[in-house]
Structure 1
Amino acid sequence: MSGEQHPDGALLQRSQRAIRAWLEKPASTATSPLTGGGAIARSEARLAELHEGRPALLMPSATYALWVALRTLGIGPGDEVLIPKYDWVSSLAVVRELRATPIPVPVVPATLTIDPVLAAARRTARTRAIIATHLFGIPTDVPELRRVLPGVPIVEDCAAAFGSTLDGRPVGVFGDAAIMGFGPGKRIDVGELGALVLCDDGMRKRALQLSAHPVRQKVSGIAFPELTSMSIRPHPLAAMLLLDALDEDDAGPMIQERLRLANSLLVASGIDVLGLDARRGVASRSVSVLAEQVLTAELPAATKIAYGEVQDIDALARGTSRSRRIVFITTAAQPLGVHRL
């Protein structure tokens, strides 16, 4: 492809940089998904450091991390799991795959996150967990969920919200477990990778028994490894890519730039950006794209979607809004995912 950029050029360049960076670091063990050593251990330690010391485990994808999280909480047939009515399909798919019952809960219009009041109203004797998705990087009010649903475990879906904050703390530290995504369309993209952040070492041990190779279970101090676990492991190179990306990452400037652009949009065109409040720091690039197109009058009509009180994707597609004008954007690189029940 002389004179043209190879379609995989950016990924390969990042990979080469990450490999060089890893070769320059001192390492006592090889990077191995069988043992969890090397760059895998280093990445997990870095993720724990970024999430107030909570133990972390690399996973091959965010969806598998969600499956492990719910299995770790003991979710199975007959259990009910509260999920956002407006969400990417993974929450629905994983709950159904475990033969549990998904209970959809409407979202708060200003944030597109699960409504704590309505979640509490849908609790039954069979409610065993809540999935709190920080959709489009906007944090769910997990502390309020905890207050109105005491005793119900909460799994934070941070797949699209790595680096976002709520009340000055990083998302992923409020629930019993949290999943991260580092694949296509995410703020940090290493090709394909996920992570699971857990509230304590007991949860970490159980997650290892459900997802790790018996060798890693043994190395981690599990005396009697679970030999029939669904051992689906992360690729060693993905761990190196993530570690390199984390070394360079700083979500702070992105959060501040989003706030600046959101305020500019409100002043210039009356667009009220989702999740704009004093409690939430949203690490998302989508507003940058929206601001550039709106402020230069280049926003195609088909690109914007108005969201009001109607929680219905057909109404969203028509641009229906019954309340204030709230606009968000989706691009080919970050497709909009919705499920309806």
Structure 2
Amino acid sequence: MPIRNAAMHFIDKKPDGSPAVLHKANGALPPSEAIDNLLADLIDAYNAKQGKAWGFFHGESGAYPFSGWLRSFVDGQTEFMAFTDQAVEHLQRLMEESNLNTGGHVLFAHYQQGMTEYLGVALLQHRDSVTVSAELDVKPSRHLDLSQLHLAARINLSEWRNNKDSKQYVSFIKGKNGRKISDYFRDFIGCQEGVDGPGETRTLLKAFSDFIEREVLPEEAAREKTHTLVEYATAQTKLGEPVTLQELSELLDEDRPQNFAEFIRNADYGLSAEIPADKRTINQFRRFTGRAEGLSISFEAHLLGNKIEFDQEAGTLMIKGVPTQLVDQLKRSAAA
């Protein structure tokens, strides 16, 4: 994971309402094992965060200048440090206007993973601790606390440059500490939501369930394909990469690698070729399936305890919200 450029600034914003004080870095961070480890840990922490959103830049304007400064840097017209200086000054102004106590270290990291180029921006908090020296003295210590990562964004620069129609080259943490905080950081980056990650994931899972039902697979085969889907989607979320429908289709059926992809296209679910899978939605998805004596039952695990109740002692299922199509069939049968 080559790091091309990295810089760390500091905005001192105290809770007493005093103005934020910006401490700019004198230069870019030199290559070192420490910055490599920091970025690797930051990427892991970012990928593990739930509640991220995906989107794209607003048109460049006085309200949203970040993309213009970034474009100037990417095109080679501006040096990296000049770009980060402009950006962090803008962030300081937004902090003052929002009257939020969210100062901290501001990291800009321009790096590459595989063939993809990224820019990561994060507001990092520190934690006071203690350390033991070689002389066995106990001394105060301060370190960056990635467990408190609440404001961060990542721009897929390769996607931004090469796919003008993309609406998911920016991802950012929506945050749990109040919408006002996450909104001001989103406005700093100058992006808007373009893809509903949880919604797209739910549609993908619905399409998969329909596909399994159409294929009329044996119980073990259905369970195996569900496991493949969950494992692949989970791995992609850990990497911070989208689920690719073509790749998933190939994994689901090596003998017929186009089968699931063609089913998606023909049924017109409206899914993009790449989906930023939502980790929480994926984790809720498991299928219970069973067949016996002309009875076939299959449902998603998250419905258990909600629309489906299981009486373990009696060995019975109670189903609420029976599909309309099945209800109509039963009514016609009862009236015959």
Q: Give the TM bin, normalised by the shorter chain.
A: under 0.3
TM-score by length of 1: 0.23
Higher relative contact order (CA 8 A, sep 6+): 1
- Bigger proportion of residues as strand: 2
Structure with larger Rg: 2
TM-score by length of 2: 0.23
